[in-house]
Structure 1
Amino acid sequence: MHDEIPLGRIAGFSVKVHWSVLVILWLFTWSLATTLPGAVKGYAPVAYWLAGAGGAAVLLASLLAHELAHAIVARRCGVPVENVTLWLFGGVTTLGGEAKTPKAAFRIAFAGPATSLALSATFGTLAVALAVIRTPPIVVSVAWWLAGSICCWACSICCRAHRWTAAGWSGPISGAVTATSCAPESARRGPDAWWRSS
């Protein structure tokens, strides 16, 4: 567990970040910063990189919201939650037990994707509103990117969710490889400990 950095508690849950999050943060920053110039021209290079970093940070925050949704519903269903960890391929909500009923399991499983879809709709609406009030195009583009990325990711999770494991980055990262030895220890405890959608 030495590879994980405690961030404190959010909504009563212990939140940690694995060092590998830096990899995905850089990947999204670089991807957005290098594709934005083709969509919105006329900005200085530093503006694209700042937009990329901001978009990547918000995307990571949306992942945290996704995992916290799993944790909150699990707690409401009487399932203890040990911690929430962000890492290279997404997030891990480590549970201390299993849902008592199929209905509870379903609610826990889809709380995350439902939250992500709601966030996607929010960013889409925000993008439209920002365009109407003539916000700088680079900001509007980042909002659309967030809406699309979060939506694709959430939909892929809904289609493939099938057992307790970690929520992956299967939407935003096309063709991402499966978890390797760099995964946090909590992500290697087996299907009874965490939710996976890959």
Structure 2
Amino acid sequence: MERAVLQITLFGLLLALAATQPNKDDWDIYSFHINSTVTSRYATTVITSRMANRMDESKEIEFHVRIPKNAFISKFRMFIDGQVYDGIVKGKEKARQQYTEAVSRGQSAGLVSSVGRTLEEFKTSVTVAAHKKVTFELTYEELLKRRLGKYELQIHARPMQPVKSFKVDVHIHEESGINIVEVKGGLALADAINKTHADNEVHHKIR
């Protein structure tokens, strides 16, 4: 059985790694974590973003991330004041109609829209009380396509502002073994990557 060759492409990491400019928003993204597990070319990725309202009044907080066009969202949850709110994932056309209706009623809803040829954007917002926090958790899945003997995992990690706690974890398991793993994302990643590589498992950590 042919051993796997995998390329991990990381988009938008420069902003998160630099994290030097002051935040001018009324809310903070204090934690942005991505955990991706790949088993036999099937990838499951979880994006967890924790935000806080810094204002003395309620504030609408936005969450939007980009995912590969071939992926599908399998779960979306919000955590507010110890309560868990599970989203209901629906087809695009029905979701678009219900999104418009929910927004007009002042309710929270999420919508996926295309961004270029390879990415889609998921966006939602929720009103958070003064000095309170919210956690967004989005899970998407995809079967990675093999091209010219290798397959690519795309991770778009671009928070809307600099982040204090930023992590990307990629776990790869291939029964046939792993020959080469390439990580692309610019020179800013050079000192941030920690890799563990066994015969059929790879773990990449970016901090």
Q: Which has the higher strand share?
A: 2
TM-score by length of 2: 0.28
- Structure with bigger RCO (C-alpha 8 Å, 6+ apart): 2
TM-score by length of 1: 0.29
